[in-house]
C-alpha cells in the first residue's frame, strides 16, 4: 500500500520483510481444510469429557466410581477390571476414529503447501524449528540408549519416597508463605529479578490465590497495548505445588518483563528456548531445597527428578509416534494406531507405566496394543508439539552442567539466556552464551550421569566433567566407545534385571496384603508459554 514504508521501518530484518512480501493467502480449498481441522479438534474435548459408564448389577459406574466402589468393597475386583477395561476401550475407539479423520485432513493441508507429510509441515511452518524430524535421529537414539534405562531406575527409586511425597502434599502452604519463600533468595540470583518481581507484586500483575471460582491451571501472559506488562495466573492448591508453580511461572514473567519492544509486538516465541527460562529457574532454586522443604527435601528432589527425566523420554516418544503416523497416513485403523503406540512405548522403555499391559495380562485386550495415547490432548490439538518439551528440558540439563561446574557462572549464563529472549534460534542462542546445544551435540550419557549422582548412585562415568572432555565426547575412537558401551550395557542389564525382580517381588507381597490393585493417574503439568500435560497411568499395588 502507499503506507507500507511505515511497517517496513519497524521491521529491521530483511528476511522477515521478504516473508511479508511473499505472503500468499489460503486457497478456498485450504480454508475448507483449515475449518474442518478446527471443527475436528474441538470435537476432541467433547468426546474426551463424555461420561462413559459400565453397568454392574443394575448400577452405572464411571471409571472414578469403579475405583471407589472396588476400594470400599461394593463391587468385586473382576467386575472392576471388566468395567475399567470396557470404558477405556470405548473411549479409545471413539477418539482414535476422530484422530484418523484429523490425520487425513492435516495430510491434505501439508501437501497443499508442498510438504511430503504433515510432520515436516508442522516442524517448519507452525513451529519454525531449526531442526527437522529426521535431524533428531541421533538425539532420539541417545534418549533410548541412556534415558530409557534411567527412567526405570528413577521410577524404582521414586517408590522409596512415595509415602514422604504423599505426606509432603498434605502439608498446607499459603500463597503468602509461597511468596515469602520465593522472594527470600531472589536477590541471590539477580537484583534485576528482584526488581521485576517487586513491580509485579506492587502493580497487582499476579493472581495466584485459591478460589473455587477460578479456572484450574497456571500460566503467564502478556497484556499488550495500554499496559505492556506480563501477568501471572495460577489457581492455587494450598500445598507445595504453588511454590513450584510460582518459581516456574516467574521464569516466564521475568523474561517478558525485560523483553525488548520488538519481541512484544513482532517477535515470535521459540518454545524450546522459552521453557529454559522457567525450568532453569527451578533448577537454580533447587540449591535451597533443604531450607524450603525441610525433612521432605530429598523426596522433593526425587519428585522433580522423575518429572525431568520423564519429560525428556515422553517428549521423544510422543513425537516419534506422531511422526510415524503422519509419515505413513494411509489405511490407518484403530488397531494399527494402538499397536504403533505400544511399539514406540516399548522402544522407549515406557510400557510398564500404563494400564493396557496389565489389563492384557489379565485377559483384557491385546498384549501388543496400548489404549491410553488418546488421553493426551496435544496429540489431537497441538500435533508435533511434544518434542519441544524434551528439547527444552535437555537445554536445562546443559544448564545443570554449567551450574555444577561453576554455580555463579552458570547463573550468569542463565541470565544471559533470559536477556536473549525467545525470538531467536535455539542452538545459536545457547552457543552465544557458551552453552552446548543438545540438538547439535546431544550428551545424554552425561545428563544421565548427573541425575544418577542426584540419586546417590555413582555409575562410574568415564569423563571427569570438564568442559574440554565433554566437547570431545563425540570424537572418541569408535573402538574405545564400543568397549565402554558393551561393558556398561552388561552392568545395566544385570542391574535392570535385579530392579525388575525386586519390583515384582514387592508387588506380589503388596497384592497378598490387600488382594487388589488400583489405577493411579499422575499428571505432570508445566504451565506458562508451554502447557504440558503428560499422562502416566500406573498400576500400583495397594
Give the pLDDT confidence of 159-202 residue by residue, as tens digits. 999 999 999 989 999 999 999 999 999 999 999 999 999 999 99
pLDDT at 539: 25
Q: How many CA atoms lie within 13 A of 297 on its CB side?
A: 12
Residue 114: band (very low, low, confident or very high) from pLDDT cuts 50, 70, 90: very high
Residue 463: band (very low, low, confident or very high) from pLDDT cuts 50, 70, 90: low
pLDDT at 351: 87
What does the pLDDT average to over 31-59?
96
pLDDT at 333: 98
Residue 253: band (very low, low, confident or very high) from pLDDT cuts 50, 70, 90: very high
pLDDT at 542: 24
Q: Would you say residue 441 has pLDDT above 60?
A: yes
Buried b (16+ CB within 10 A) or exposed e, 214-224: eeeebbbebee
- The pTM (predicted TM-score) of the whole model is 0.80
pLDDT at 267: 67
DSSP designation for 441: S
Q: Would you say residue 1 has pLDDT above 90?
A: no
Average pLDDT value over all residues in the chain: 85
Percent of the chain exceeding pLDDT 70 equals 85
> How many distinct helices (H) and strands (E) make up the chain?
26, 7
How far apart CA 65 and CA 80 sit, in angstroms, is 10
Q: Would you say residue 134 has pLDDT above 90?
A: yes
What does the pLDDT average to over 379-406?
94
How far apart CA 148 and CA 535 sit, in angstroms, is 17
How far apart CA 150 and CA 450 sit, in angstroms, is 11
Among all chains, which residue has been given the C-alpha cell 475386583? 77
Q: Would you say residue 395 has pLDDT above 50?
A: yes
Q: Would you say residue 534 has pLDDT above 60?
A: no
CA nearest 203: which of 225, 242, 175, 230?
A: 230
The C-alpha angle with vertex 119 and arms to 117 and 122, in degrees rounded to 5, equals 110
Q: Would you say residue 94 has pLDDT above 50?
A: yes
Amino acid at each position: 500500500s502507499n503506507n507500507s514504508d511505515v511497517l517496513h521501518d519497524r521491521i529491521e530484518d530483511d528476511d522477515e520483510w521478504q516473508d511479508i512480501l511473499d505472503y500468499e493467502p489460503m486457497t478456498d480449498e485450504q480454508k475448507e481444510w483449515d475449518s474442518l481441522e478446527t471443527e475436528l479438534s474441538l470435537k476432541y474435548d467433547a468426546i474426551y469429557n463424555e461420561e462413559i459408564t459400565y453397568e454392574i448389577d443394575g448400577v452405572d459406574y464411571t471409571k472414578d466410581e469403579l475405583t471407589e466402589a472396588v476400594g470400599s468393597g461394593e463391587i468385586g475386583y473382576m467386575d472392576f477390571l471388566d468395567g475399567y477395561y470396557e470404558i477405556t476401550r470405548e473411549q479409545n475407539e471413539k477418539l482414535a476414529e476422530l484422530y484418523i479423520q484429523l490425520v487425513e485432513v492435516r495430510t491434505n493441508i501439508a501437501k497443499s503447501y508442498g510438504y511430503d507429510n504433515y510432520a515436516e509441515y508442522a516442524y517448519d511452518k507452525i513451529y519454525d524449528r531449526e531442526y527437522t524430524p529426521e535431524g533428531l535421529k541421533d538425539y532420539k537414539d541417545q534418549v533410548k540408549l541412556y534415558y530409557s534405562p534411567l527412567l526405570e531406575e528413577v521410577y524404582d527409586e521414586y517408590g522409596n519416597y512415595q509415602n514422604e511425597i504423599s505426606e509432603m502434599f498434605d502439608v498446607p502452604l499459603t500463597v503468602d508463605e509461597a511468596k515469602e519463600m520465593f522472594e527470600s533468595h531472589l536477590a541471590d540470583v539477580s537484583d534485576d529479578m528482584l526488581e521485576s518481581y517487586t513491580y509485579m507484586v506492587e502493580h497487582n500483575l499476579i493472581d495466584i490465590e485459591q478460589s473455587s471460582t477460578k479456572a484450574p491451571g497456571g500460566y503467564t501472559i502478556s497484556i499488550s497495548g495500554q499496559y505492556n506488562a506480563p501477568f501471572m495466573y495460577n489457581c492455587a492448591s494450598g500445598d507445595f505445588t504453588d511454590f513450584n508453580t510460582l518459581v516456574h511461572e516467574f521464569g516466564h514473567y521475568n523474561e517478558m518483563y525485560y523483553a525488548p519492544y520488538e519481541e512484544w509486538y513482532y517477535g515470535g516465541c521459540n518454545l524450546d528456548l522459552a521453557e529454559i527460562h522457567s525450568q532453569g529457574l527451578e533448577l537454580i532454586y533447587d540449591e535451597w531445597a533443604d531450607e524450603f522443604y525441610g525433612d521432605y527435601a530429598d523426596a522433593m528432589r526425587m519428585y522433580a527428578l522423575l518429572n525431568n527425566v520423564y519429560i525428556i523420554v515422553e517428549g521423544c516418544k510422543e513425537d516419534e509416534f506422531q511422526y510415524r503416523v503422519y509419515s505413513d497416513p494411509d489405511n490407518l485403523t484403530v488397531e494399527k494406531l494402538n499397536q504403533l503406540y505400544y511399539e514406540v512405548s516399548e522402544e522407549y522403555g515406557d510400557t510398564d507405566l500404563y494400564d493396557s499391559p496389565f489389563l492384557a495380562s489379565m485377559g483384557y485386550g491385546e498384549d501388543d496394543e496400548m489404549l491410553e495415547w488418546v488421553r493426551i490432548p496435544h496429540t489431537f490439538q497441538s500435533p508435533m508439539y511434544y518434542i519441544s518439551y524434551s528439547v527444552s528440558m535437555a537445554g536445562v540439563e546443559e544448564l545443570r552442567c554449567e551450574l555444577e561446574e561453576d554455580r555463579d557462572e552458570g547463573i550468569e549464563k542463565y541470565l544471559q539466556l533470559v536477556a536473549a529472549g525467545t525470538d531467536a534460534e535455539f542452538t545459536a542462542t545457547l552457543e552465544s552464551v557458551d552453552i552446548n546445544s543438545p540438538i547439535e551435540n546431544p550428551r545424554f550419557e552425561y545428563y544421565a550421569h548427573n541425575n544418577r549422582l542426584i540419586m546417590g548412585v555413582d555409575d562410574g562415568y568415564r569423563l571427569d566433567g570438564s568442559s574440554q572432555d565433554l566437547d570431545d565426547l563425540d570424537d572418541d575412537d569408535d573402538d574405545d566407545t564400543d568397549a565402554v558401551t558393551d561393558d556398561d550395557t552388561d552392568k545395566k542389564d544385570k542391574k535392570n534385571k535385579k530392579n525388575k525382580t525386586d519390583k515384582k517381588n514387592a508387588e506380589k507381597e503388596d497384592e497378598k496384603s490387600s488382594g487388589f490393585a488400583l489405577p493411579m493417574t499422575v499428571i505432570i503439568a508445566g504451565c506458562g508459554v508451554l502447557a504440558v500435560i503428560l499422562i502416566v497411568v500406573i498400576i500400583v499395588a495397594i
